[in-house]
Amino acid sequence: MTEYTQDQETFRDVVARFLQAKSTPADVRRLMDTDEGFDRAVWQQLCREVGLAGTHIPEEYGGFGFGPVELGIAAEEMGRYLYCSPFLSSSVMAGYAILNGASEANRQKLLPEIASGSTIATLVLDSVNAPEQVGRQLRATGNELDGAAPIVTDAHVADLLIVVAEGKEGLDLFSIASDADGVAIHAQDALDTTRKLSRVVLSGAVADKIGHLSEAGLEKTWNQISVALAHEMIGGAQQLFDSTLEYTKVRVQFGRPIGSFQALKHRCADLLLALEWAKAVTHHAAFCLCAGEEPETASMAKAMASEVYMEAARAAVQLRGGIGFTWEEDTHLWYKRAKASEVFMGSPHMHRERLLSQIEEAS
């Protein structure tokens, strides 16, 4: 059983208080209907006052120097409040790719601006389904990039694209301005409109090669992103569970709260058990990343968090009856995020297959 320190709990409280004030359901609804999909002023305030964009980035690169545990705490609260921002794309995905693949000079150049929030970056992968599929569509000929990435988060607001492309000797890492010649960004329709998606097409785009992403580096990056995303998902699942439990206490049917009915008690108890299991595995995965141990826990965390988030979303809709399906009720916001996140960076099935392969290799 993992335990947080007092400082880590204080950090959680600071993030939670900020998001409680700045990411209400009304704020989420307003932002998801805008082109950018987030409030730049709030994002800058969060970066300036809380330092969130640099949570896990080492101090020598302008960050706070925390690790996956503190990053997970922040992501969990963001999932709880459904905070709309480029945090996952810029700080987590692009940040980890640069840390794991860029040269020291390029880390010194790129990470401080990402850590401060002054630059928004996003990671361009031609597959967000499985790491072994990365590099099949994006190719590098020298510094020229060609190909397409069908699903890229927050590319429409990014200043900088961090591109993983297949070169002569494996996967290379490039940086290129989002408005550079040869770069086309096309908005994609998405089920979850709280997280904007784009298709990025590169046609002879000349980029700066900033490093090389080895197979081990890609696996490490995938694991780190998966664990952060798993934290976001259990935060969302916890919010759905809490709100649904509260609803069963106030919704009266046949003269008594529906939460007093045994069948609903069993449903809530089963969901709570699954949620606590997923939280324990996800928190443990972050501690393992800190210690450089057990990479298979990342896949366990992503698979379990995906499944419990969807189960919490289904229960939230069903236990609310007819109102759970309505636009006016907020449940569908988390339901759509749960469904979209379930397959992003690998489905539960993919992660279980990956976990099995890792166990077989270790045996």
50: domain CATH number is 1.10.540.10
Q: Is the pLDDT of residue 98 over 70?
A: yes
More confident residue, 291 or 78: 78
pLDDT tier at 294, thresholds 50, 70, 90: low
Region 251-265 average pLDDT = 80
Please state the pTM of the whole predicted model. 0.96
Q: Considering 66, 85, 116, which residue would you say is the last residue of a domain?
A: 116
Indicate the number of domains in the chain.
Answer: 3
Q: Is 63 exposed, middle or buried (0-12, 13-18, 19+ CB in 10 A)?
A: buried
312 in the same domain as 273: yes
Predicted confidence at residue 91, as pLDDT, reads: 98
Predicted confidence at residue 72, as pLDDT, reads: 98
Predicted confidence at residue 260, as pLDDT, reads: 73
Q: Is residue 145 part of a domain?
A: yes
Task: Please tell me the number of Cα atoms within 13 Å of 251 on its side-chain side.
Answer: 16
Predicted confidence at residue 296, as pLDDT, reads: 84
Q: Tokens representing 337?
A: 């995020």
Name the β-bridge partners of 163. Answer: 124, 174
168 in the same domain as 103: no
The pLDDT tens digits for 223-237 are 999 999 999 999 999
285 in the same domain as 152: no
115 backbone dihedrals φ, ψ, rounded to 5°: -65, -35
Q: Is the pLDDT of residue 2 over 80?
A: no
Provide the mean pLDDT of the chain.
Answer: 95
Containing structural domain, residue 276: 216-362
Predicted confidence at residue 1, as pLDDT, reads: 56
Q: Considering 193, 213, 233, which residue would you say is the last residue of a domain?
A: 213
Q: Is the pLDDT of residue 24 over 60?
A: yes
Q: Return the number of other C-beta atoms located less than 10 Å from residue 30's C-beta.
A: 12
Predicted confidence at residue 250, as pLDDT, reads: 76
Q: Considering 88, 116, 144, which residue would you say is the last residue of a domain?
A: 116
Q: Is residue 1 part of a domain?
A: no
Predicted confidence at residue 227, as pLDDT, reads: 98
Q: Is the pLDDT of residue 259 over 90?
A: no
Classify strands 183-188 and 139-141 as parallel, antiparallel or unpaired.
unpaired
Closest CA to 173 of 248, 71, 97: 97
Predicted confidence at residue 248, as pLDDT, reads: 87
Q: Is residue 206 part of a domain?
A: yes
> What CATH number does residue 186 fall under?
2.40.110.10
More confident residue, 251 or 196: 196
All residues at 6 or more sequence positions from 31 whose CB lies less than 8 Å from its CB, including other chains? 37, 38, 39, 84, 194
Q: Long-range contacts made by residues 263-268, C-beta under 8 angstroms, separation at least 24?
A: 264/319, 267/315, 267/319, 268/241, 268/244, 268/315, 268/319
Of 63-77, 274-288, 315-329, the least confident: 315-329
Closest CA to 80 of 138, 11, 12: 12
175 in the same domain as 307: no
Q: Is residue 15 part of a domain?
A: yes
